[in-house]
Amino acid sequence: MNFIFDVHLDLSLNALEWNRDLTLPLEEIRELEAGKTDLKGRGENTVCFEEMRKGGVGLCVATQIGGCMKPAGPVASWESPSQAWAMTQGQRAYYETMEDLGQMAKVTDLDSLENHLQNWESPEVAAKNEAPIGYLMSLEGADSIINLDYLERSWESGLRAIGPAHYGKGRYALGHDQVGGLPAGGKEFLKKVEELGLILDVTHLSDQCFFEALEIFSGPVWASHSNCRALVDDPRQFSDEQIRLLIERDAVIGSVFDAWMMIPGWKRGVSTPESAGVRLHDITKHIDHICQLAGNANHVGLGSDLDGGFGREQGPLDVDSIADLQNLETLLPEIGFGAKEMEDFFHGNFLRLLRNAWS
């Protein structure tokens, strides 16, 4: 079994907004949601701690998410920065409670990273022993940062990566669905991010904000969950120009498994995995495209976003649970991956970035 580092999972969002007890087995969560229609993906969830262990997902980037962007985003949207801040602090408290229960282990520096990796040296043994799943905390959308003092407070409480935008017009950056550059305060915000040593997540930035951010910010960069615009033409995806810039910065791009980002022609609310025929194989096309632009496999990884506001109804046909990400091992050789490239894809590339950022 491969050890997997998944660089984008909205675990606290699922726990607190979808009211999912992730300590329960997957089927039990689904049964509890049977017949519910209040939120998207009810009864179609793919993630819980048991399935993460079963699939070798021993380390993840776990998000905080709470914004006050306009227009309101599809989830985690509030009327004010203070409300958004309160939501993210509830999410932090959730992760810390999971630590108390032995379900999760916080990773904030090289020592805690290397210690955790030793505990997961054998994913099979770690899963059998119900070892804690490591998590690095990231903030998706920065609207909840009331002022820069709050950013410093977030660092002190364990935040290690941040994406300035989500959807809409954010306080520090515009989302991918907007046109325009950084708003007032955006430049100062990015400089503080760099000063603190946070990793900048460029996912969800508008095109202009993306380019401006890379000019201003000289610290470590990753894209936690994005695919290729050349294959699915949407501003949520990265253009080849953007991908080349990320490669130049030694960034890593996490492949995301939201169906509309995997294949062209998906119509939200209309298409189904069955009608579209979307499968894990389709993500290998995006992975290969990035590798061809780079000339190597050093800039690809996993940022699944599974249960990130959707479930099986908007995912690959052959992903019933996050444990099915292991099946990529049989598909990656089709694009020329050997053992080393697969190891780098499943965890090595993002670990290299982390080690460089924290050394």
pLDDT (tens digit per residue) in 291-328: 999 999 999 999 999 999 999 999 999 999 999 999 99
Q: Tell me, what's the pLDDT at 72?
A: 83
pLDDT at 75: 79
Helix runs in the chain, H state only: 11-16, 26-32, 49-54, 81-100, 110-119, 123-128, 148-156, 186-196, 207-216, 240-248, 259-262, 273-276, 281-294, 328-331, 339-343, 349-358
Average confidence score pLDDT of the chain: 97
* pLDDT, tens digit, 9 for 90 and up, residues 193-222: 999 999 999 999 999 999 999 999 999 999
Q: Quote the pTM value.
A: 0.97
pLDDT tens across 113-124, in order?
999 999 999 999
Q: Convert the pLDDT of each residue in 59-102 to its tens digit.
A: 999 999 999 988 886 778 899 999 999 999 999 999 999 999 99
**How would residue 269 be classed by pLDDT, with cut points 50, 70 and 90?**
confident
> How open is the CA angle 126-128-134, to the nearest 5 degrees?
35
Distance CA 299, CA 141 (A): 23
Name the band, by pLDDT with cuts 50, 70 and 90, for residue 40: very high
Domains of the chain: 4-358 (3.20.20.140)
